[in-house]
Structure 1
């Protein structure tokens, strides 16, 4: 399981005083107000940054990091993900899972037959949709509803699905 979970991606700078515009990749963007530190993944290194100030603008979160007070200091971090340690992540409710833990698990039908591998999760307004890569049907989209998702076992790396008529 991943020890760092993504909560957002820096999209661009905001103003000239070191603020950045972050696209939240968490279910609860307000969680940024409670965060004290995040890890910035530059692709080459990971930097632990302390959050100084947070505010909201439309669907974005405007973040100011302590010690980064100039646009030139944050310009290079565009498109970099912001991560939190698993223990600092929002606690999960029953039947909720971190997407990072789900990607790559094997998907089986209710008959115990191998069906494919979970490739992606599409977040929609009503319910999530699981993108399953199969060898016989290509990509199959399965709605994340109780009628279709019968079991998820993250530790075993397995999901059991019921394929409703019309999904294939």
Structure 2
């Protein structure tokens, strides 16, 4: 299973105790959905390595976790800072109208009735998320905010937006100079 078949769940932030437990940070909207997960993939040296979960105690977006075959603090230290992944098929269903950012890749992006281009990526930043739209070879970054992104049509692979005045000009002017 490769990275394209997975989504990042979070990462290992630190060890816990002396028996090899680690603390997961679950970078998701609803951490409680993952309370009963049986395994996780951890990125080690650029590869996804499966680990079975012996126990997981959730506290908000953090989980004290015991992993099979991780028995000592030294074993656990090797996992600190590593990213956690799950297969895309494990993504929980979202309420109607909900979507995951990875689903938006290759969607047509419209500002009102005008086709701007295709979505190439979504950058998840600490303060806000940005949708990267390819407009005739120029990257336009659009904040992924409800006030701008008005409707996402998953069936037809279309995003309808209302771009702030001047947003496109910022990118197109820098291209002209």
TM-score, reference length from structure 1 = 0.75
User: Following superposition of structure 1 onto structure 2, how do residues 72-91 of structure 1 map, counting pairs within 5 Å?
Assistant: 72-91=74-93
What SS does the aligned partner of 2:78 have? helix
Contact 1:148 1:164 survives alignment (8 Å): no
Structure 2: gaps spanning 5 or more residues: 169-177
Name 1:64's counterpart in structure 2.
66
1:151 has 2:156 as partner? no
Distance of aligned partners of 1:5 and 1:142 in 2 relative to their CA distance in 1, 3 Å threshold: closer
Contact 2:35 2:58 survives alignment (8 Å): no
> CA offset at residue 29 of structure 1?
1.2
Name 1:161's counterpart in structure 2.
161
RMSD: 3.2
What SS does the aligned partner of 2:95 have? coil
Please identify, of 46-55 and 82-91, the stretch whose mean Cα deviation from structure 2 is larger: 82-91
C-alpha distance after superposition, 1:5-47 (max 9, x if no partner):
2222111211221111111112221223210111112243221
Distance of aligned partners of 1:13 and 1:100 in 2 relative to their CA distance in 1, 3 Å threshold: farther
Larger fraction in helix: 2
Distance of aligned partners of 1:98 and 1:2 in 2 relative to their CA distance in 1, 3 Å threshold: farther
> CA offset at residue 70 of structure 1?
0.8
Contact 1:20 1:62 survives alignment (8 Å): yes
Contact 1:37 1:49 survives alignment (8 Å): yes
Name 1:15's counterpart in structure 2.
17
Distance of aligned partners of 1:123 and 1:111 in 2 relative to their CA distance in 1, 3 Å threshold: farther
Indicate the structure (1 or 2) with the bigger Cα radius of gyration.
2
Structure 1: gaps spanning 5 or more residues: none
